Amino acid sequence: MRIKLLQLVEVIRKEKKNAQRITEGTKQSAIEAAKTAQVSYSAAGDRYHAAGSAYIAEERSKRLENLYLELKQFVDQSSKEEISVPSYIKVNFGGEIKELYLVKNPTFLDQYQLISKSSPIGSLLLGKKPGDVVVFNADNKRTKIEILEVE
């Protein structure tokens, strides 16, 4: 069992539930704003803003659902020796210990660093094993990344 992925799946499940609640609330606000939009320009602006907020909330909810489904299927598999998608990766990133999650389609989660397999760092880490060291070049700066742990 992949404990770190299981923990992340549980966080995503809770976040997904919260995002769905927010989506419903913003949709209701948009509906209410639409009812009053014919009264004034200000109300029309409120309607436009409420509709935009509802769209953003719904997109976040969809991204969390997709991430949840992506990760859930891998939780019961045994840990792998090398980095693949999805993976929990503990690294020494230029002297700083970081915990990363390599996924297919990342989204923002507070307290978690999700990286895409197609990102510069993600593609650099694919296939690596604990003990491997890679060098990441960005902004004319070379940073050494040592892989400490993979799950």
Task: Single out the residue of 8, 1, 38 nearest to residue 102, CA to CA.
Answer: 8
C-alpha dihedral (64, 69, 75, 77), degrees to nearest 10: -150
Q: Which CATH number fits domain 87-150: 3.90.1300.10, 1.10.569.10, 3.10.50.30, 1.10.1740.10?
A: 3.10.50.30
Instruction: Supply the pLDDT for residue 34.
Output: 65
Chain segment 76-120, per-residue pLDDT in tens: 888 888 999 999 999 999 999 999 999 999 999 999 999 999 999
| C-alpha–C-alpha distance, residues 49 and 27, integer Å | 11
pLDDT digits (tens, 9 = 90+) for 26-51: 878 777 766 665 555 566 666 677 77
For residue 37, the 8-state DSSP code is T
